[in-house]
Structure 1
Amino acid sequence: MMLEELLQTYSKEGIIHHLHTFLTEERIARIDQVLACRLNSIEVALEAPYDIHNGLAVIRTAEALGVSQLHFINAQMKKGQGKNTTKGTLKWTRLTRHETLEDFLNKKKVLIAGACAEGEVPLEELPLDLPLCFLFGNEREGLSEEAKQQADILFKVPMYGMVESLNLSVAAAITLYDFLKRKRAHLGKEGDFTKQEILEEKARFYIRSLGIEQSNEILKRSLS
């Protein structure tokens, strides 16, 4: 049984209630701490990353900074690839893969802020009061022309040296650290998940902590 099947088969409250006794107090406290700092209003998308390991490094950084909604657009990624790069953070995020940019754009309901050198909006002037999805291009060509045209905002990461561009994972790290620091100050709190969203993610984290197979066996015995 897959993770999503477990979440659909059993109530979130039931999953949490029956799995928590199999987790250490330290793990439960850590999950609560992490979810309290999650930002649902900020997402990250990567368009056709040239080096998948750079793209996966962005996932690691995003998860560390409290972002869990991630998107890969037209990314060539093999099953199991990147475990060393992400250091296990993939299982704590929601990574959606889109075959084309059009597919991604059709499903988005938030403003898209595209990163590019010719962007007219400085990073520090991006709106803090609206949900945003940061869109980064690949290491060689940056964002495609279509992505630039479709983005709601084009912003640039400040650079003061002779270098003309930044590594993808570095550009994403600078963007997320700067913006999320100001975003949290604007919110007046660390995270913005609703109580229902926290409940859903806690059930997901409990299953991930124990493993799908073990969680399935426990829930079958307890709730079937």
Structure 2
Amino acid sequence: MKRVTSGENPTVKRFLKVIGRPERSAPAQGQMEGIALAEGPRVLEMALRAGIRPTHALVTAEFASRRENSLLVDTLLDRGTYVVVVEGKALKRLSQTVTPQGIIALCRVKASALSPLPEEPVVCVDGVQDPGNMGTIIRVVDAAGFSRVVVLKGSVNPYNPKSIRASAGSIFNVEISFGEVEEVVEIANSEGRVVVGTDLKGDMDLYEYMPAGRELVVFGNETAGISQAIRAQAKVLLRIPLYGKAESLNVAASAAVLLYEWRRRMQGAKP
């Protein structure tokens, strides 16, 4: 490991460049490969378990000296990661959190080709703008045992550092694809999938619908919901019933309710 004290170090500058324009470096529409920022030991461990090899890592001396962190640092070194020890104030300058966790890394990641889609329900996000919501949806997809998220043009980039943090590392377990509405719907139709929209005033209650197991289910913008283009193509518009006084559910909460209900149904549980 190399120890540096200057913010002018080339590795530190590399991090600053990615942090300054994270979505320019990350995979996106029309850009299959890129760099993602992984911060904190838990997120980084998830990346390593998923087979991701970080190219560069910055750690504080305090972090590296703790026995519980030695295995993580050794694993990074064994996998060829260029590890640099920096001062705490330098890492704080780079950190995306109020309280830095002592380690931050750059990971080379690759988006998945849009087609073919996996033989299971596939989640599609349509205009989701909040990176926290994006990351939480990805985490829910992972936790519910599904494997693909399709990100439509106009949505926040899932490799935004805040999205990665909100996913708690699940973004490294889930396949991410990018596409435009027409392209995604065409692929879904060619594969015999049902395009299912989610809407506060949908024509069918979530608990009345029995998933076939090959749906493309679309979650929309936090304010406007699914786009008119998706609405026009959806064969079903599902609503989640509200029993209290709340007017709606957050989009990530809606994804959790729907996907866990579908998982329960697909495993043969009685409604």
Q: Same fold (TM over 0.5)?
A: yes
| Residue 42 (structure 1) aligns with | 121
| Count of residues in Structure 1 that have an aligned counterpart in Structure 2 | 150
Q: Are residue 103 (structure 1) and residue 200 (structure 2) matched?
A: no
What is the letter of the counterpart of residue 239 of structure 2?
Answer: K
Q: How does 1:80-95 map to 2 (within 5 A)?
A: 81=161, 82-95=163-176
Query: 3-state SS of the aligned residue for 1:96?
Result: strand
Give the counterpart letter for 1:133 in structure 2.
L
- Quick check: 169-178 or 71-80, which moved more? 71-80
Higher share in strand = 2
Cα RMSD for the two superposed structures: 2.3
Which of 171, 192, 209 matches 2:254? Answer: 171
Task: Kindly provide the CA deviation profile for residues 170-194 of structure 1, in whole angstroms up to 9, marking residues without a partner as x.
Answer: 01001111121111116xxxxxxxx
Q: CA–CA distance in 1 between the matches of 2:185 and 2:131?
A: 21
Alignment match, 1:136: 219
TM-score, with structure 2 as normaliser: 0.51
Partners of 1:117 and 1:143 in 2: CA distance:
10
Distance in 1, Cα, partners of 2:178 & 2:238: 24
Of 143, 146, 150 in structure 2, the residue corresponding to residue 67 of structure 1 is: 146
Output the amino acid matched with 1:91: F
Once the two structures are TM-superposed, the CA of residue 151 in structure 1 deviates from its matched residue by 0.6
AA of the residue aligned to 2:182: E
1: CA distance, partners of 2:160 / 2:219: 23
Is the CA contact (8 Å cut-off) linking 1:113 and 1:152 kept in structure 2? yes
Q: Assess if the C-alpha contact under 8 Å between 1:114 and 1:143 holds in 2.
A: yes
Task: With a CA cutoff of 8 Å and minimum separation of 6, indicate the structure with the bigger relative contact order.
Answer: 1
Which residue is equivalent to 2:92? none
Distance in 2, matches of 1:93 and 1:59, equals 7
Identify unmatched segments of 5+ residues in structure 2: 1-31, 33-50, 52-117
Report SS of the residue matched to 1:147. Answer: helix
- Structure 1: 5+ residue stretches without partners: 5-18, 20-38, 187-224
Following TM superposition, by how much is the alpha carbon of 1:86 offset from its aligned partner in structure 2, in angstroms? Answer: 1.0
> How far apart are 1:112 and its partner, in Å?
1.1
Q: Does 1:55 align with 2:134?
A: yes
Instruction: Show CA shifts across 1:82-129 (max 9, x none).
Output: 22111111121111011x222221222311110001211111122333
Name segments (4+ residues, structure 1) moved above 3 Å.
none
Does the CA contact (< 8 Å) of 1:50 and 1:140 recur in 2?
no
Distance 1:184 1:78 in 2: 29
